[in-house]
């Protein structure tokens, strides 16, 4: 394993959610919404939005600027009623370290006691060996982070200072962004009203998609998919739970959040739009060519359901029947479970420390705790066990209605990891007992299974 000081934030091509179905409707419906209780007040909101997709340094790779969601977030704030004069949007070459410092100082000073300052960042995130975290402005130098990058401590110090009169809503869509949540929780001893929401945890990389920012836009748009408790309102708690669920399901990582002061899970963002599709956004798995793929429901008409496959373009959306659908249930490993974890194409023995939404915090055996990390269940497999009855090259495994000669490699109680005889190891897979039988003669067909479209 190696410990790089900085890494990428997002590759912006191919959105995981498909924004047209996620928040394409009802964008204007919340303008003029009158709050009946404490909550988001657009006319009393100031915003500093920083989005960096291109960098001056050749060591920092850039991203396509088409269909950028930081700009979409700005427009959604305006549609909700935030005065455009209250929004500072710095992007790419305009988002230098000096420009960000100046804009932040001005925003902190101008926020009144009855106002909320919303600060959002999207771009590269960096973390040094001593645990300090930085956002990367346009002119950041990866070799000189303390003098060229945006130290998140300056942001947290600003909103926790006694000189700051208002409340703060902090969001970050980048690698290691969870450090923002952790730092606020440590520094906010005076209990200022601060809420945080980030795309990842403090020691974890972030996705290559705009999924996090799309979740925020969806909630501010009043999309019913965000109404987690189905009470026809979208609260801060709804947004936080929805974002964590989406990030775990779509991107297989954990979002972080925190609330203090006037911010609570009941803090109202606005009403949820009426929907004729109550299952819209439901997380499912769809059977295709004998394999199960993660998907989300777009709409349903009787027994026919239109689904969007996670990680595939919208051109792969299709109508499926009920017999091809099943609820999504992430594989979970219990704390203290002895497992193997994939890292850089190699498997390492590890122990599960805790689990959340199908994402596991693990400790690599014989490594220091600094290597502990959160990983998706797709990177975890049970640790090799002693041979079991039926193990060896005397099996047949059912795949897409056909039986194939196979060898059992290891077992995990109700499932076995099998190798298809005559095929490469890339076809190895975990299968339940219902798909395994003793080998018969002659063996199944020798045609390799097709696993992807």
Percentage of residues in the chain having pLDDT higher than 70: 86
Which sign, positive or negative, has the C-alpha torsion 216, 217, 220, 225? negative
**Structure confidence at residue 355 (pLDDT):** 94
Range of weakest confidence among 13-17, 131-135, 227-231? 13-17
Distance CA(428)–CA(421), nearest Å, equals 10
Residue-range domains of the chain with CATH: 19-271 (3.40.50.1460), 283-327 (2.30.30.140), 338-382 (2.30.30.140), 386-453 (2.30.30.140)
| Strand arrangement of the beta sheet that strand 283-288 belongs to | 318-321, 304-309, 291-301, 283-288, 325-327
Mean pLDDT of the chain: 86
Distances in whole angstroms, Cα of residue 341 to Cα of each of 181, 365, 373, 428: 27, 10, 10, 16
Confidence class of residue 429 from pLDDT cuts 50, 70 and 90? confident
Range of weakest confidence among 27-41, 136-150, 167-181, 397-411? 27-41
What pTM was computed for the model?
0.79
Range of weakest confidence among 2-6, 328-332, 438-442? 2-6
**Structure confidence at residue 440 (pLDDT):** 67
pLDDT of residue 16 exceeding 90, the answer is no
Cβ atoms of residues 160 and 192 within 8 Å: yes
Confidence class of residue 434 from pLDDT cuts 50, 70 and 90? confident
pLDDT of residue 451 exceeding 50, the answer is no
Nearest to 41 by CA among 51, 53, 50, 32: 32
Confidence class of residue 106 from pLDDT cuts 50, 70 and 90? very high
**Structure confidence at residue 10 (pLDDT):** 35
Distance CA(14)–CA(63), nearest Å, equals 12
Mean pLDDT of 328-357: 91
Residues 271-311: tens digit of each pLDDT: 999 988 989 999 999 999 889 999 999 999 999 999 999 98
Residues 81-103: tens digit of each pLDDT: 999 999 999 999 999 999 999 99
Distances in whole angstroms, Cα of residue 438 to Cα of each of 383, 406, 420, 434: 24, 10, 14, 12
Nearest to 169 by CA among 101, 239, 248, 223: 239
**Structure confidence at residue 120 (pLDDT):** 98
């Amino acid at each position: 394993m190696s410990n790089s000081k900085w890494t990428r934030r997002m590759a912006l091509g191919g959105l995981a959610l498909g924004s047209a179905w996620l928040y394409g409707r009802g964008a204007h419906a919340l303008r003029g919404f009158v709050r009946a209780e404490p909550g988001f007040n657009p006319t009393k909101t100031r915003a500093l939005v920083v989005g960096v997709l291109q960098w001056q340094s050749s060591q920092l790779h850039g991203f396509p600027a088409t269909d950028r969601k930081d700009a979409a977030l700005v427009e959604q704030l305006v549609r909700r009623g935030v005065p455009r004069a209250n929004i500072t949007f710095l992007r790419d070459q305009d988002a230098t370290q000096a420009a960000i410092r100046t804009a932040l100082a001005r925003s902190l000073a101008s926020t009144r006691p009855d106002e909320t300052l919303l600060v959002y960042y999207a771009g590269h995130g960096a973390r040094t060996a001593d645990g300090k975290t930085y956002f990367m402005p346009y002119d950041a130098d990866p070799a000189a982070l303390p003098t060229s990058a945006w130290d998140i401590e300056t942001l947290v110090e600003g909103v926790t200072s006694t000189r700051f009169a208002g409340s703060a809503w902090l969001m970050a869509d980048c690698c290691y962004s969870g450090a923002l949540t952790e730092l606020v929780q440590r520094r906010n001893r005076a209990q200022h009203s601060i809420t945080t929401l980030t795309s990842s945890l403090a020691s974890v990389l972030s996705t290559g998609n705009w999924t996090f920012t799309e979740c925020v836009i969806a909630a501010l748009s009043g999309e019913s998919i965000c109404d987690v408790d189905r009470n026809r309102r979208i609260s801060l708690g709804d947004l936080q739970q929805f974002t964590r669920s989406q990030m775990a399901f779509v991107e297989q990582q954990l979002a972080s959040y925190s609330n203090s002061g006037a911010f609570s899970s009941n803090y109202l963002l606005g009403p949820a739009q009426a929907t004729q599709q109550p299952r819209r956004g439901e997380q499912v798995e769809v059977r295709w060519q004998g394999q199960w793929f993660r998907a989300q429901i777009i709409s349903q008409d009787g027994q026919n359901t239109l689904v969007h496959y996670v990680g595939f373009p919208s051109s792969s959306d299709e109508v499926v029947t009920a017999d091809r659908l099943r609820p999504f249930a992430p594989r979970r490993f219990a704390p203290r479970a002895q497992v193997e974890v994939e890292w850089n194409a190699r498997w390492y023995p590890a122990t599960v420390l805790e689990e959340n939404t199908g994402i596991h915090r693990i400790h690599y055996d014989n490594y220091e705790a600094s290597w502990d990390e959160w990983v998706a269940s797709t990177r975890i497999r049970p640790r090799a066990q002693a041979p079991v009855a039926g193990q060896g090259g005397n099996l047949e495994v059912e795949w897409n209605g056909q039986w194939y000669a196979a060898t059992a490699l290891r077992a995990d109680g109700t499932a076995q990891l099998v190798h298809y005889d005559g095929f490469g190891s890339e076809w190895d897979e975990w299968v339940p007992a219902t798909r395994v039988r003793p080998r018969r003669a002659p063996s199944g067909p020798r045609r390799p299974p097709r696993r992807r479209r």
